Structure 1
Amino acid sequence: MSGNSEFDIMPPSKRVVLNTEACGGCLTCELVCSGRHFDGECHKNLSAIRIDADMLDYSFSLSVCRQCKSASCVAACRLGAMKFDENTNARYIDKEKCVNCGLCVKACPFANEKMSPIKRVMFHGKPKVIKCDLCRGYEGGPLCVAICPKAALSVQ
């Protein structure tokens, strides 16, 4: 896209990052994320943040939305359900408009990674698209950052 579309002028957003040296692999971040976004239901498959834990090497990696400046997920959404928050600039899904079609998932350049930062899951028998929204609307910022017992997560 070119010109002065909303897609071209989206403001940059911060994102959740992992200090791999500090992470202990407890996965508390995954549980608190799913609980916040799925009415208290805590399950790693419902989390917008994923930690890949290799316990043989005791190493950890993070999969979370990168909050791309030229967010292809936003451009792919035909219903305007992918938006950016005016306070944090985080890209988020307007649940009132989203029909969970998955076009945003297909458009994400990182969706084919081992752990996709945006995905379509089944929740109580219905499809649901999930991605990190930096805990939009929660005054304290992302819960995963606040709850991490090793302070391994931050917003940068």
Structure 2
Amino acid sequence: MFNVESYEGTLTEQYNKVTKQLEALLEGEDDFIANLSNATSLLNQFLDNINWVGFYLWKQDQLVLGPFQGLPACVRIPSGKGVCGTAVERRETVRVEDVHKFPGHIACDAASNSEIVIPMMKDGELLGVLDIDSPIKNRFTAEDEQQLNRFVDTLVNYL
């Protein structure tokens, strides 16, 4: 049974709790979309000062919108375009302090000021990306990056 825990303690302790909750949600469930949907909901509940969180899935050489929480979003993003496409092209996490200074930023929500995008890789294959936007500049820290990478790794291990 899944129980929502309180998110008290250090940032690392909070991320540990949310990752344990993710594992509880994923245990015994093999539906890709259901698992991404619950992961999105969990992050939306957990993270403060965000205005969009969701997944783009890699299909036919482009990112296609997947489960998300927030305002309607861009449906398709090619490799190399915007923050998400740059993360795909580099196959690494991209953390942007001010999206308005990022060359080629795609503004799906004008309120977004910072962003972090984490590629989902399994056995060397790109599955998609986790994309999180914030209305606050410099919202995402190095610790957020490290812990969100761990969150995505946990998710991918269950997929």
Q: By percentage of residues, which structure has more strand?
A: 2
Q: Name which structure has the greater RCO, CA cutoff 8 Å, separation 6+.
A: 1
| TM-score exceeds 0.5 | no
Which TM-score band applies after superposition, normalised by the shorter structure? 0.3 to 0.5
Kindly name which structure, 1 or 2, has the bigger radius of gyration based on alpha carbons.
1
Q: By percentage of residues, which structure has more helix?
A: 2
State TM-score, norm by structure 1: 0.33
